[in-house]
Amino acid sequence: MRVLGVDPGLTRCGLAVVEVSPARKVQLVCAEVVRTPPGDELGRRLVSVEDAVARVLGMYLPDTLAIERVFSQHNVKTVIGTAQAAGVAALVATKAGIPVVFHTPSEVKAAVTGSGRADKAQVAAMVSRIVGQEVTGPADLTDAVALAICHGWRFPSQEALARAVAAAPAGRGGVR
């Protein structure tokens, strides 16, 4: 399974593609941070995020796009920008026919470290350990890799179940 993880943000948006084997071995395919100048007009910044997500989708053809769920932060302006970037990424993937899933930060931390309360340094260290190479850069980068790993490890069985339920004929013992 190939997953594009997106740690959304307007100033820095982390993008990472991983390939996860059925044996849970993870290969890092791509990892980058899209940066937009805070002084630029909002629409221009969102177009930069859109272009980057579309480019990565086109180059690496992921099966799923996993985005960090935005829920609560202290700075309302930051939350709004993060949500806007997440919406752009979800829109680009959906238009390309790629399923979009959202994961909370605690789900991601628990998947890669075993604790939903892990700090950024613990997540970064485990991401490097899981992919077998040093992943350096801002937290946005390592968080995007962690998102992709989380989805690749924790959710393929749930996706398979959802597909099976959707494909089951109604009235023939299928679950509806």
Question: Which one of 7, 32, 41, 119 is the catalytic residue?
Answer: 7
Spatial CA neighbour of 89 closest among 175, 4, 2, 3:
4
40-48: long-range contacts, CB 8 A cutoff, minimum separation 24:
42/10, 42/84, 45/10, 46/10, 46/84, 46/85, 46/88
Question: Which one of 19, 41, 50, 68 is the catalytic residue?
Answer: 68
- pLDDT of 134 reads 96
159 is known as an active-site residue: no
Spatial CA neighbour of 112 closest among 47, 163, 68, 57:
68
What parts of the chain have a pLDDT lower than 50?
Answer: 176
- pLDDT of 159 reads 63
- pLDDT of 174 reads 52
Question: Which one of 41, 140, 143, 159 is the catalytic residue?
Answer: 140
The overall pTM is greater than 0.95: no
- pLDDT of 156 reads 64
140 is known as an active-site residue: yes
Second-level CATH architecture of 2-167:
2-Layer Sandwich (3.30)
- pLDDT of 42 reads 96
- pLDDT of 76 reads 81
Q: Distance between CA atoms of 156 and 152, rounded to whole angstroms?
A: 6
| Residue that is written with structure tokens 């040093």 in the block | 134
